[in-house]
Amino acid sequence: MPTTARSLGRVFDIMPAIAPVDLEAGNVLGKRLHMKNYDNVAIVVFAAAGTANDDLQIDVNEHNAATGGTSQDLDIVTDYYHKQATALAGTETWVKTTQAAASEINDVGALGTSAERQNLLVVEISGDQLSDGFEWISVNIPDLGSAGAKLGCAFYIMTGLNVQRAPQNLVNPNA
């Protein structure tokens, strides 16, 4: 039976933000996503278990250009969802964590043990939360330290597509 796309291009689009990398090797800058064609984005970060004291952190920024331009913290993150386990099995439930509005999450789940666990983190951003004149967002992961390797990656899942198309005809998310 042939497979046809039912959601990609109609309900959501997806874009890499950070390719798999050792997150403790230095600051990791995510790709910029142009929000003009989407109502919302879920930033998804997935990280392997690592060594104590290299707790997972993220920083969400907004930009007024695809490259260069002005960049600033997007201080609107008040809650996020995460799953953590020594080895994520798909049976874990989402945990909601609430914080004062900020662009940063300094220790996923605020447990002080996110380094030693696998992490799945989701932060949702709405296009109307961006400052006037800012249309791009990015997720960055600061240098986690040097206790040991912690591999990870991130991607964007965009929803509220302004134009729905077959997947092969979707617009470039950075255009």
- CATH label of the domain that carries residue 147: 2.60.120
Which of 63-77, 85-99, 112-126 bottoms out in mean pLDDT, i.e. has the lowest?
A: 112-126
Whether residue 1 is predicted with pLDDT greater than 60 in this model: the reply is no
Strand 28-29 versus strand 136-141 pairing type? antiparallel
Residue 2 covered by a domain: no
- Residue range(s) defining the domain that contains residue 87: 12-163
Whether residue 170 is predicted with pLDDT greater than 80 in this model: the reply is yes
Please give the helix or strand (H or E) that residue 120 lies within, else none.
strand 118-126
Model confidence at 171, pLDDT cuts 50, 70, 90, reads confident
Residue 109 covered by a domain: yes
Residue 156 covered by a domain: yes
Instruction: State pTM to two decimals.
Output: 0.92
* Chain centre distance of CA 86: 21
Residue 172 covered by a domain: no
pLDDT of residue 61: 97
As for how many domains the chain has, the answer is 1
CB atoms under 10 Å from CB of 101, counted, come to 10
Alpha-carbon distance values, 58 to 52, 93, 123, 137, 143 (Å): 17, 21, 10, 13, 10
How many whole angstroms separate alpha carbon 44 and alpha carbon 169?
24
Residue 80 covered by a domain: yes
Residue 4 covered by a domain: no
How many whole angstroms separate alpha carbon 90 and alpha carbon 94?
11
Residue 158 covered by a domain: yes
Residue 60 covered by a domain: yes
pLDDT of residue 4: 65
